[in-house]
Amino acid sequence: MIGEVLGKCVEELRAIVSYSKESGEIVWLKKLGARTTIGEVAGSVAADGYLHVVIKGKVWKQHRLAYLLVTGNLPPDQVDHINGDRADNRWSNLRCVSNSENGKNVKLPTTSTSGVIGVSWHTRDLKWVAYITVQGERKSLGYYTNKGAAINARRAAEVEYGFHENHGRDT
C-alpha cells in the first residue's frame, strides 16, 4: 500500500519537474502557478544554504527530491553533499548516508581556535588536546605539548574511524 502511494507520488513529481544528474538542476515541466515557468530552473536558496522548491504546497530540499526522482524511493537517512556545497546537487556529489556517516563529513566550525576539528588548547594543563566523537561517544586522543602532534593524532583517528577525506574542510 505505501509503495503504491509512493510510486504515484514519484510519477506525479516526474510529470511536474525534471532533474539533471549532470547539472544538479531541477526544472519545471508543468506550470503550477504564477511563480512557475515551464523550462525554468525551480526553487531558490534558503537561509540554510540548501536549495528548496515548493511543489503543491510541500517544501522539498532539492537534494532529497533529486534522490527520490532518481531512485524512486525516499532516502532512508541523510543525503550528503560530498564536497560540502549545499547548492551542488549534481548526482556525483550526492550520497545516501546514515546520520553518523553524515557527521563524518562536516566543515570546520567557525568557533575552532586550532584550525582543526577535535584539536583545542587546554588552558589548565597548557597543552593541546585531541579528541574525536564516534557514534556519539567522545574519545580522548591525548594531550600534547606540540600542536602538530595533536593534529596528527586527530588525523590518524579520522582514518581509523572512517571519516570522509573532506571532513574538517574550511569552506
Whole-angstrom Cα Rg for the chain: 21
75-98 residue pLDDT tens: 999 999 999 999 999 999 999 999
75 and 23, same structural domain? yes
- Indicate the pTM of the whole model: 0.79
168 lies in some domain = no
Strands of 105-171 (E only): list them.
119-122, 127-134, 137-144
14-34 residue pLDDT tens: 999 999 999 999 999 999 888
Number of domains into which the chain is organized: 2
Is the confidence at residue 2, as pLDDT, over 60? no
Label the pairing between strands 94-97 and 17-19.
unpaired
Contact of 125 with 143, CB cutoff 8 Å: yes
154 lies in some domain = yes
Q: Which domain holds residue 141?
A: 103-160
